[in-house]
Amino acid sequence: MTTIDRRSFLAGSLALAAPAAAAQDAQEPEDLSRIGKTPNTRFAVNVEMWWRKLPFLQRIVMAAEYGFPAVEFWPWRGKDINAVSDITTDLGIEVAQFTAWGFVPGMNEPENKMKFIREVKEACEIARRLRCKKMTVVAGNDIAGRSPEQMHAAVIDALKAVAPIAETTDVMLILEPMNVRVDHKGHCLYGSPDAVRICREVGSSHVKINWDLYHMQISEGDLCGRLKDGFDQVGYLQLADHPGRNEPGTGEIHYPRVLRAAKELGYEDFVGLECRPRNGEHAAAVAVNAADQW
């Protein structure tokens, strides 16, 4: 886009997005931008899960309208990366992270190693264009006849192979463990102990964990204790409440306590809002703001 095109797009996006947001709650304050400007934590809205009825770029506009400093999203393929770069620049909002490598094919299969290396190289170039410093990678789904130990060994080997690429380009690869009970039965990496062990064995400043607190709650609980035990390998945090995978305050997790623990451990980066707003985005944003008060 040219500068004129970008400005025109932004103006049109705001005109379309604002009524959609206002329709959620007639009691919304006029200054939405104060809601996302939280006192202790910098949040990144997952624009795959928020404002899903709006076109993708308009979701980024809405995140900025609410005052959130960053967004995150899932695979970069299929998205207009130039447009995302342009609009985030114009809005003064960051891309905290996106997904560079998903479940299939898994890097837990040695035969996929070279494809994984090529994909990481290409994704690092996308990250450069987006001024993004982190990318999620996923270990892969179970392989028949392979033990967890064998699959994890292949993951370690693959991550060791791409660690120099990540270090040279200054993009952190964040490995995400899942949960088996609710969302990702058949995956090969759950909970923090194995993820921490894998990343410690890789031994790179640019290969860490996407520590999704929702998945960790389901897999192991003891969120603050586990976070402390593995904090040297935390690259990024995400949240959602459980059950439901909705915003804080809708489930069993007391997020003011957990976010405070992360802050006290020294975590200063973005926290991804990978949650589905249960009662609309405005109510979810207010709940996120409340969870950051302690």
pLDDT tier at 13, thresholds 50, 70, 90: low
Asked whether 52 and 86 are in contact (CB, 8 A), the reply is no
Count of other CB atoms within 10 angstroms of residue 169:
17
Does the residue 160 lie in any domain? yes
Cis bond upstream, residue 55 (ω within 30): no
Fill in the amino acid letter for 155: V
Does the residue 237 lie in any domain? yes
pLDDT at 15: 54
Does the residue 248 lie in any domain? yes
Q: How many domains does the chain have?
A: 1
Share of the chain above pLDDT 70, in %: 90
Closest-CA residue to 140 (of 125, 157, 127, 124): 157
Does the residue 76 lie in any domain? yes
**pLDDT (mean) for 258-263:** 98
Average pLDDT of the residues of the chain = 93
Between 38 and 10, where is the model more confident? 38
pLDDT at 31: 84
Does the residue 31 lie in any domain? no
Residue 12 has pLDDT above 70, yes or no: no
What's the residue count for the chain? 294
pLDDT at 234: 98
Domain enclosing residue 47, as ranges: 41-291
**pLDDT (mean) for 77-85:** 98
Does the residue 27 lie in any domain? no
Q: How far apart are CA 59 and CA 50, in angstroms?
A: 7
Query: pLDDT tens across 27-77, in order?
Result: 454 589 899 999 999 999 999 999 999 999 999 999 999 999 999 999 999
Does the residue 170 lie in any domain? yes
pLDDT at 30: 55
Q: How far apart are CA 294 and CA 254, in angstroms?
A: 11
* Whole-structure pTM value: 0.92
Residue 215 sits in a domain whose CATH number is 3.20.20.150
Residue 128 has pLDDT above 60, yes or no: yes
Tokens of 240: 């959602």
Closest-CA residue to 72 (of 4, 134, 18): 134
**pLDDT (mean) for 80-85:** 98
Fill in the amino acid letter for 77: R
Between 25 and 217, where is the model more confident? 217
Does the residue 183 lie in any domain? yes
Backbone angles phi, psi at 208, to 5 degrees: -135, -165
